[in-house]
Amino acid sequence: MFKKLRGQTVDRAFFLSTPQLIGYMLKFLLPRLITAGAFLCVVISLVDVPPEAYIGLAATYILAGIIGLMAIFVPSGLGVREAVIVLFASVYFPVEIAIVLSLAARLYTTLADGLLALVYVAFRKQGGKE
């Protein structure tokens, strides 16, 4: 990047090929789609959701996660992700329900992170004994 800023030519070896680029994009997108599907399951379990809202709600969760990651001054996007979910979910639901959905999403995400940490610790202890 600095070479480009200085007006120097950049060797093509520094660029990804199209198949590599597509591969990395798919590897980034797949976990987002899985978590968006999980968010939809949470929402559907709590309120009646019209099928035409599925894509919008899934996109809301993905966008909220990205914006939460970009908020570097708050741990894990705490409050930022919820605000984005409330903002966009209120298109489909009353604000009160959107708030409950955002808090439920945070609760489930925190529980999943905690469970993953416990699994990691269990495997780490098991690996250390051998």
Domain ranges across the chain: 34-129
Over residues 2-42, the pLDDT tens digits come to 666 667 787 887 788 999 999 999 999 999 999 999 999 99
pTM equals 0.79
Q: Which pLDDT score, from 0 to 100, does residue 12 have?
A: 80
Q: Which pLDDT score, from 0 to 100, does residue 1 have?
A: 58
DSSP secondary structure, 60-128, as one string: HHHHHHHHHHH-TTSGGGTTHHHHHHHHHHTTTS-HHHHHHHHHHHHHHHHHHHHHHHHHHHHHHHHHH
Separation of CA 29 from chain center: 10
What value does the mean pLDDT take over residues 67-78? 89
What value does the mean pLDDT take over residues 95-124? 95
Q: Which pLDDT score, from 0 to 100, does residue 3 have?
A: 62
What value does the mean pLDDT take over residues 119-128? 88
Does position 60 have pLDDT exceeding 70, yes or no? yes
Return the amino acid letter for 80.
V
Instruction: Please give the share of the chain, as a percent, with pLDDT higher than 90.
Output: 78
Are the beta carbons of 89 and 44 closer than 8 angstroms?
Answer: no
